[in-house]
């Protein structure tokens, strides 16, 4: 993987473990010569990821819609800041530029971005690994929900398993490097009939 998209909060979160993990992830990606693609803000976990990568001399590309440029306080020290018109354009470009996704803790914006990549994957629109860094148990509730969606018959288990989750960034990147996309149909009925 040469480029990874990082989705994460524009807030810092209350526990300092979140900002630390974001900064460390940025550093780690840069030291592995992996280019960071992200939302282009200098605030919250978003800013910490960029700063961690830039401090190691890494390449960081921000993709930000015009109307959020001032609101989210665009990072001025990036390798490149690409301005787009809409949120949809932002996500499409981020997807185009990356070979994998890492999701850190964040709010609804982060989750929306994560779920869009997950659903695109299920529909076969991309075959990229999607990783979730479970800092401080933040995504334990999502793990439980992921299991429940399968248990209640709304998701093929292969797709639930294809969501890569770890509390270690090193392990998560290994899982992403070794990722094989599920070779099953999206629809449960196709699996069961």
Residue whose entry in the numeric block shows the structure tokens 């992996």: 34
- The CB-of-79 to ligand AMP minimum distance in angstroms stands at 18
- The CB-of-111 to ligand AMP minimum distance in angstroms stands at 7
> Given the complex with ligand AMP, which of 108 and 154 has the nearer CB atom?
108
Nearest C-alpha neighbor of 7 from the set 27, 17, 20, 22: 22
> Given the complex with ligand AMP, which of 35 and 42 has the nearer CB atom?
42
- The CB-of-72 to ligand AMP minimum distance in angstroms stands at 6
> Given the complex with ligand AMP, which of 22 and 41 has the nearer CB atom?
41
**Dmax (CA) of the chain:** 55
| Number of neighbouring beta carbons within 10 Å of residue 147 | 13
- The CB-of-102 to ligand AMP minimum distance in angstroms stands at 14
Q: What is the DSSP letter of 78?
A: S
d(CA 177, CA 150): 25
Q: Write out the residues near ligand AMP by the rule CB under 6 A.
A: 9-11, 39, 41, 68, 72, 87, 106-110, 112-113
């Amino acid at each position: 993987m040469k480029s990874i998209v990082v989705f994460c909060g524009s807030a810092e979160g209350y526990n300092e473990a979140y900002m630390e993990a974001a900064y460390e992830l940025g550093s780690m990606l840069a030291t592995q010569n992996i280019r960071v693609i992200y939302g282009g803000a200098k605030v919250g976990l978003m800013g910490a990821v960029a700063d961690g990568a830039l401090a190691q001399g890494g390449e960081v590309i921000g993709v930000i819609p015009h109307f959020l440029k001032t609101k989210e306080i665009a990072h001025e020290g990036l390798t490149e800041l690409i301005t787009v018109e809409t949120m949809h354009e932002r996500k499409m470009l981020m997807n185009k530029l990356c070979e994998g996704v890492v999701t850190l803790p964040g709010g609804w914006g982060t989750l929306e971005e994560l779920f869009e990549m997950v659903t695109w994957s299920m529909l076969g629109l991309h075959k990229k690994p999607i990783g979730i860094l479970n800092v401080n148990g933040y995504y334990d509730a999502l793990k439980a929900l992921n299991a429940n969606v399968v248990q209640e018959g709304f998701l093929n288990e292969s797709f639930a398993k294809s969501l890569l989750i770890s509390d270690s960034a090193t392990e998560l990147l290994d899982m992403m490097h070794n990722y094989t996309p599920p070779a099953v149909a999206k629809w449960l009925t196709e699996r069961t009939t």
